[in-house]
Chain A
């Protein structure tokens, strides 16, 4: 039965009317909000987000008014979420990977121009004013400015966000207690105001006044940079220098050469980010090391956790063992503790000097103070430590899934093996393991992809340390691809979102490959077990 038929069956009673009106109201409010956001993002020059928000707004409205789309109505919140915070980020990552987005180039050209042309300067020939602070009923501040030019008193009233006004016929330089709804501030109020007005601009347009320092006089401020759309250039009025937009470098550069204007803007750099880690030997070296370690780490983690997990599952499955339930509960505790906490505890245990492990080894006479094991500070030991900690974190999961899979293996297979006189090892190797892999195989591959991107472990345990010397970007011996990417984007050597996005896409391609492989593998096993 289809949805529309059900719809028509409902009589339009008062409740339905109420819901309809509420629906129209919500749609109207929602669209008003979307439109405002579109206006905002359009001002910032963010076309992509404008398009996404447009789709969400129009889509919601259409779905609400077209009866045929009734089933979609149920999905609107979910779809809007997925579009805004799953699809758009993917698009954004792809788009960023072709740009120079990063420190020095943080804004779209439009926004960059807005920021640059908003700057003011004090003209050298400007006369300065003495000033007093006033405040209007709406909380806005204003300045009462006075100066003497050739013995003639000149008084100017300068409210925030409104044009300057010359006050004619003022008798004295002292500010009146009240003027056009603004009252003179003194004492504590004045002190509070001073903190604010040092950053404020009084007046409107190009006719403005500001105070740089509370002890200094007020001076007229002029717009310093003017943008000429036709020439695509910015002129610095204070020096006369002309800066021309260079769409190759993402900067406004002075005609004769010299320092470009900051901030630069985002430009399309094509495949340059991808070419960088292929061509630049300084980047390529660490990247190859990191890639190899990522694969070793992910594969090593899967193998070690599965081996221990399976061993424990086999032992706990045998009827000889008393208290299996209790033992299993004790063994899954590492899985239940929040991972960050466990990792921090391990970091403490593995600490070179203070850590329990080294201290115990010294107490037992195995090590001396001079020969402590550098668990987290030596490249090779740190890798071993990471695998050890991940074994502790991960084996309970493998134990649980193996235990479930073992119980699903039909008993007649074992009976047949016993009749044929198979040794326990043969039974395990040729019956248990292959049958087990049918169920857990896909989960092992999922575990591989999970560990391939196991950012948390690396970041909380070693932060990628020890560092690889001589690398032009921050990189460490224990970094895996995803933690390396994170450091490129958020590390303390400056943000490079474009390059980080490019590497993200490369990681994604690898993960996708593994996933495709997993799906194939899955289907194959399913077919095989169907035949069995």
Chain B
């Protein structure tokens, strides 16, 4: 408990006991209202997921279950029975691939750049850093149209090369174009490059240079210093950054929906959105079940990492 607020409170306490009781009652009233506001949609979705009648129009805040064996009907429907129409596991797998590949590659690539910025002094270093900072101002989302068209051009160049250079099969290029997981990964990585380089540079700057200088004396190469000395040192911070980046990409929806067209290629968020977007009333129960499967791990992670997230937020590391 911070001393400041405590003192502040003590001042108030002295004024009068009655005021204090009213104050406390008021506080708890606000807390109850706020918690109710925060949790009633959550309660609603849990109830919908367990309620065997899947229509939206019959859902309440508590499930009406007469037959306990039907409690998991919605889960069974989405996760087992309906897979032919809605490949839920496939979506989950896609999300997992996209989030882990883009996170790992982003962390590695930005760690390399950041190491150079942190440890070497070269001409143009300052202006390069400034440019990276400036480019951050242009949000990924604003380049939506351009990114879409660029991925489309990757598909077109694949076709063109197949025509003009048929000796080799250039179809593989399409796995980085529109409607491909590779395309989504590229776009996510591009969006994360700048901010993560700066963040990583901050971490590396906090590690004393004496450590690598002594290693240099022992004849270690730069790569050995980076990979065997520095990288293990920042691994705990990288783990937290990595988990947050993973969750961020896992939850991303706007770019993924624009890029991924086929049902088989959707990520979980795109899949769940499209699952319910066309008809809200019909399969609400199954959507709720899917939403729970998607949200529970993420929420758990957030609650575990609460303190790190607060630290990150005040540094501006996590976008709000």
Q: Is the CB of B294 within 8 A of A338?
A: yes
A274 within 8 A of B: no
Chain B residues with Cβ under 8 A from A331's Cβ?
34-35, 38
The secondary structure that dominates the A interface is helix
Contact among B6, B39, B190, B316 with A330 in the assembled complex (CB-CB below 8 Å): B39
Chain B residues with Cβ under 8 A from A403's Cβ?
310
Chain A residues with Cβ under 8 A from B8's Cβ?
414, 418, 424, 427
A60 within 8 A of B: no
Chain B residues with Cβ under 8 A from A275's Cβ?
none
Q: Is the CB of A317 within 8 A of B5?
A: yes
A227 within 8 A of B: no
B65 within 8 A of A: no
In the assembled complex, the Cα of A346 lies from the Cα of B117 at a distance in Å of: 45
Q: Is the CB of B122 within 8 A of A71?
A: yes
Contact among A308, A406, A453, A511 with B4 in the assembled complex (CB-CB below 8 Å): A406
A167 within 8 A of B: no
Q: For residues 136 through 187 of chain B, which have their beta carbon under 8 Å from a beta carbon of chain A?
A: 137-139, 141-150, 153, 156-157, 160-161, 164-165, 170, 186-187
Q: Is the CB of A37 within 8 A of B56?
A: no
Q: Is the CB of B31 within 8 A of A356?
A: no
A353 within 8 A of B: yes
A336 within 8 A of B: yes
Q: Smallest Cβ distance from A374 to chain B, in angstroms?
A: 15
Contact among A86, A329, A355, A459 with B194 in the assembled complex (CB-CB below 8 Å): A86
B219 within 8 A of A: yes
Contact among A339, A406, A460, A515 with B5 in the assembled complex (CB-CB below 8 Å): A406
Q: Is the CB of A49 within 8 A of B153?
A: yes
Q: For residues 27 through 72 of chain B, which have their beta carbon under 8 Å from a beta carbon of chain A?
A: 27-28, 30-31, 34-35, 37-39, 41-42, 44-45, 55-57, 59-61
Q: Is the CB of A508 within 8 A of B310?
A: no
A288 within 8 A of B: no
Residue of B nearest to A393 (CB): B320
Knowing A2-B121, A75-B116, A339-B253, the reply to whether A85 touches B190 (Cβ < 8 A) is: yes
Q: For residues 475 through 498 of chain A, which have their beta carbon under 8 Å from a beta carbon of chain B?
A: 482, 485-486, 489-490, 497
Max count, chain A CB within 10 A of own CB: residue among B1, B39, B138, B306: B138
Q: Smallest Cβ distance from B165 to chain A, in angstroms?
A: 7
Q: Is the CB of A333 within 8 A of B38?
A: yes
In the assembled complex, the Cα of A502 lies from the Cα of B258 at a distance in Å of: 20
B246 within 8 A of A: no
Q: Is the CB of B39 within 8 A of A344?
A: no
Chain B residues with Cβ under 8 A from A65's Cβ?
none
Q: Is the CB of B113 within 8 A of A315?
A: no
Chain A residues with Cβ under 8 A from B137's Cβ?
511-512, 515
Question: B76-84, B230-238, B295-303: which lies at the A interface?
Answer: B295-303
In the assembled complex, the Cα of A333 lies from the Cα of B295 at a distance in Å of: 10
B207 within 8 A of A: no
Contact among B1, B30, B121, B301 with A315 in the assembled complex (CB-CB below 8 Å): B30
Chain A residues with Cβ under 8 A from B254's Cβ?
455-456, 459
Q: Is the CB of B143 within 8 A of A405?
A: no
A280 within 8 A of B: no
Residue of B nearest to A33 (CB): B173
In the assembled complex, the Cα of A368 lies from the Cα of B90 at a distance in Å of: 44
Question: A125-133, A145-153, A212-220, A439-447: which lies at the B interface?
Answer: A439-447
Q: Is the CB of B272 within 8 A of A341?
A: yes
Knowing A92-B150, A354-B57, the reply to whether A344 touches B120 (Cβ < 8 A) is: no
Knowing A6-B222, A10-B221, A489-B148, the reply to whether A418 touches B310 (Cβ < 8 A) is: no
Max count, chain A CB within 10 A of own CB: residue among B55, B120, B250, B258: B120
Contact among B139, B164, B194, B273 with A344 in the assembled complex (CB-CB below 8 Å): B273
A72 within 8 A of B: yes
Chain A residues with Cβ under 8 A from B24's Cβ?
320
Q: For residues 1 through 50 of chain A, which have their beta carbon under 8 Å from a beta carbon of chain B?
A: 1-3, 6, 9-10, 36-37, 39-41, 43-44, 46, 49
A372 within 8 A of B: no
Q: Is the CB of B273 within 8 A of A508?
A: no
Contact among B37, B60, B250, B310 with A404 in the assembled complex (CB-CB below 8 Å): B310
Chain B residues with Cβ under 8 A from A311's Cβ?
30
Q: Smallest Cβ distance from B134 to chain A, in angstroms?
A: 10
Q: Smallest Cβ distance from B211 to chain A, in angstroms?
A: 13
Q: Is the CB of B59 within 8 A of A356?
A: yes
In the assembled complex, the Cα of A242 lies from the Cα of B35 at a distance in Å of: 73
What is B's interface to A at a CB cutoff of 8 Å? 1-9, 11-12, 20, 23-24, 27-28, 30-31, 34-35, 37-39, 41-42, 44-45, 55-57, 59-61, 109-110, 112-113, 115-117, 120-122, 125, 132, 135, 137-139, 141-150, 153, 156-157, 160-161, 164-165, 170, 186-187, 189-191, 193-194, 197, 213, 216, 219, 221-222, 250-251, 253-254, 258, 269, 272-273, 276-277, 280-281, 284, 287, 291, 294-295, 298-299, 301-303, 306, 309-311, 313-314, 316, 319-320
Additional A-B contact list (16), CB under 8 Å, known A315-B31, A338-B298? A81-B193, A82-B194, A88-B146, A315-B30, A339-B251, A344-B272, A345-B41, A348-B56, A396-B38, A404-B311, A411-B7, A442-B316, A453-B142, A460-B253, A490-B258, A511-B139
